[in-house]
Amino acid sequence: MVAFDVVLRGYDRRAVDALVRAVEAAAGDRDRIAAAVRAAGRLPVVLRGYSPVQVDAWLAASRTAEPDPGAGPAPVWAAAVELPVVLRGYRPAETDALLTLVAGAIASGDAARRADALRAIGDARLPVAFRGFDRAAVDAWLARAARQLRGR
């Protein structure tokens, strides 16, 4: 079973665990994986759940992985971390969307997705909210991700 970090705002753990079991049972068959993702629908977000960045990156990697019955699930990008919530920080909705896009591009290895993610990082103007993600932590995460995207 894949291990995801538990974060303040994340995907419902039971829904993700059921989806992981379905994807693992698909054994790399892309059609069965796509059917399992469609059946799960949009994953609900709860107060304490699995990191959306890690789950989305794992799903993206699972969808693009070549079938290999002995390989097990695709790895999650290791640099995805829980971001601290501060009084004035980047608004979570926009930040989550950007981080999900970037983590998915890193996990996929697809050159076009990597270029789109680099462009998205450069063009990003994340709004500041009353309670949001720590700006320094997000900026550092994005800088590391940009280096990783350029590195391959």
CA dist., res. 35 & res. 44, Å (int): 18
Per-residue pLDDT, 1:
61
Per-residue pLDDT, averaged over 44-49, amounts to 88
Per-residue pLDDT, 65:
57
Q: Does the pLDDT at position 15 exceed 80?
A: yes
CA dist., res. 47 & res. 120, Å (int): 27
Per-residue pLDDT, 118:
93
Q: For residue 64, what pLDDT band results from cuts at 50, 70 and 90? A: low
Beta strands in the chain (DSSP E): 6-7, 10-11, 45-46, 49-50, 85-86, 89-90, 128-129, 132-133
Cα 109–56–21 angle (5° rounding)?
110
Q: Does the pLDDT at position 81 exceed 80?
A: no
Per-residue pLDDT, averaged over 29-45, amounts to 85
| 49-58, 87-96, 136-145: least confidently modelled range | 49-58
Per-residue pLDDT, 152:
52
Per-residue pLDDT, 61:
75
Q: Is the pTM of this model over 0.85?
A: no
